[in-house]
Structure 1
Amino acid sequence: MDVVVENLSKSFDSQKAIDSISFRVGKGEILGFLGPNGAGKTTTMKIITCFLFPDQGEVFVDKYSIRKHPYKIKQLIGYLPEHNPLYEDMNIIDFLIFVAKIHNIPRYKIMARVLDMLRLCGLENEKHKTINQLSKGYKQRVGLAQALIHDPEIVILDEPTTGLDPNQIIEIRELIKMIGKEKTVILSSHILAQVEATCDRVLIINKGKIVADGTSAELRKSNTNKMLNIKISGGDTDIIYENLNHLDNIEQIDITGEGKFKLQTSLNYEIEKDIFQLCASKQWYIKEMTPIEKHLEDIFRQVTQN
């Protein structure tokens, strides 16, 4: 089931949280929704889930509009907000039964759905505990279980791994990937390595506008610069730095060690030839010149620093 966002805008007083953004997410796709704090991610998610109403624009979930069919859309969406809302004095089974009743799951199906969620979310060994006895990781699992118990077509997860240890992050990541095989998933996270490992596509928002959209590979390919690690011997590091800094098309250069530099330049410019000619003229020796593989973090910083 597709989610289609069309020209969505929302302001809070004089502050524009999102500014005419549009995108589509399809069934079986996990979209990583990224941006700095205050970029508009949570506002967008709250509008899609019908917790907020936009100033302008529209969201369609399948054929349903957030303006005309908010109740129907809420039935189709499973939502785990950033601050996981749980009734901590209830035990896990009672809480999931309570959520199932809210979603109007037929009474004869409720226990089967609860048992499915306990198994899917790895809660079987904890099922009789009250929620306030659980670790942060298991509380997140309960949050995922409540978001999935009514078998929604769309799953929206806002920072689902906040506060988890590395082992818990991997477990939740694998669970999300399994869910994403059959459902439409929108995932917000500040852990960029997790997004790169989990998501089929990445959308980056900054100051309320979409600044990048594509797979990790597509974003790396479309990036307009390249980076190199360079090691040069035979001269003073500061003098080498000054000479490198005067080459054409140098966008940024940092000293990373004795005779070692990290250099950024235009993607289509062959800076290697200029460096070779410079070193030959100064009788310096190039010990290393290797390209740095770009990661999502590099792309994120480039498109959100302005």
Structure 2
Amino acid sequence: MSESTENQGLIEIEGLTKRFGGFTAVDGVSFSVQRGEVVGFLGPNGAGKSTTMRMLAGFMLPSEGTARICGEDVVKRPVAAKRNLGFLPEGAPTYPEMSVADFLDFCARIRGFGGAERTRRVAEAMARTQLEGVRLQPIETLSKGFKRRVGLAQALLHSPPVLVLDEPTDGLDPNQKHEVRELIRAMAPEKAIIISTHILEEVAAVCTRAIVIARGRVLADATPAALVADGRSMEEVFRSLTLGAAA
């Protein structure tokens, strides 16, 4: 990590743009996230949230712009960047025929852990996401909510300073959502966290800051309290911003 990273942010995005033919999915997005911040990345379906997350995580090349994790460019130094990243993508984890324990053990080995350390990290990740009861089940037999928890466990097991979580509570019941939000709050002081979501209550529950995106462009970047300072609800602010972008 460079000496200036702490001042610049553990996550830095500058002019990030993604085009698919003549369609611009992400259009010049820029922001940074400091340690201790939990940023809600909000937008309607098709706003560009997941595309931005994939570029930040190094799973999709940008058409323009740069993204850095702990000072490491995700395109120029992808391995170094990903060492500092825990990423929960959309959808279920890969290798659905593997058991939960085997999948997490595989992820830990890929991360370079061995022996007792690998065993400890897998057990800790399962405990934090409450997966012990299904540890021997094939992932393909799990409910959507349990699959999301497996994905979250693999993102956490190497204790990264940066977490990028795409719809982390998707498919979870109310109690499970509460547990995941409590986990995020507990981890927040030592990490920079981005949560991509369309659930406005998620922002009020765990986020210190909210970025609203529509049609690939950032429309607002403020604390949740500042967004509703005029007495409107978060739903009203969100609707006003996104409908204005669509006009």
**In terms of Rg, which structure is larger?**
1
Q: 1:157-172 counterparts in 2 under 5 A?
A: 157-172=165-180
**Residue number in structure 2 paired with 1:209:** 217
User: In structure 1, how many angstroms separate the alpha carbons of the residues matched to 2:158 and 2:176?
Assistant: 24
Aligned residue among 97, 111, 123 for 1:115: 123
Cα distance, 1:86 vs. partner? Answer: 3.5
Q: State the 1:85 CA deviation.
A: 2.0
Q: Distance in 2 between matches of 1:61 and 1:133?
A: 34
- On the 8 A contact 1:86/1:143 being kept in 2, the answer is no
When normalised by structure 2's length, the TM-score is: 0.90
Say whether the 8 Å CA contact 1:32–1:202 is kept in structure 2. Answer: yes
Structure 2 regions of 5+ residues with no counterpart? 1-8
1:83 is paired with a residue whose SS is coil
Q: Any idea what SS the aligned residue of 1:7 has?
A: strand
Residue correspondence of structure 1 range 182-221 to structure 2 within 5 A? 182-221=190-229
> Does the alignment pair 1:295 with 2:233?
yes
Which whole-Å deviations, capped at 9, do the CAs of 1:25-48 have from their partners, x for residues lacking one? Answer: 111111000111111111111111
TM-score (norm 1): 0.73
> Which amino acid counterpart does residue 302 of structure 1 have in structure 2?
S
Q: Which amino acid aligns with 1:30?
A: V
> Does 1:86 find its partner at 2:24?
no
Gapped regions of structure 1 (runs ≥ 5): 224-292
Larger strand share, 1 or 2: 1
* Paired-residue identity, %: 43
Q: In the alignment, residue 51 of structure 1 is paired with which amino acid?
A: F
Q: Which of structures 1 and 2 has the larger relative contact order (alpha carbons within 8 angstroms, sep 6+)?
A: 2
Q: How many angstroms does 1:159 deviate by? A: 1.0
The CA deviation at 1:89 is 2.0
Matched residues, number: 236
Superposed CA deviations along residues 144-196 of structure 1, whole A, max 9, x for unmatched, are: 11111121111111111222222222122212222223211100111111221
Alignment of 1:65-84 (within 5 A): 65-84=73-92
Does the 8 Å CA contact 1:211/1:303 hold for their aligned counterparts? yes
1:125 Cα deviation (Å)? 2.6
| Residue in structure 1 matched with residue 5 of structure 2 by the alignment | none
Residue 142 of structure 1: how far off its partner (Å): 1.1
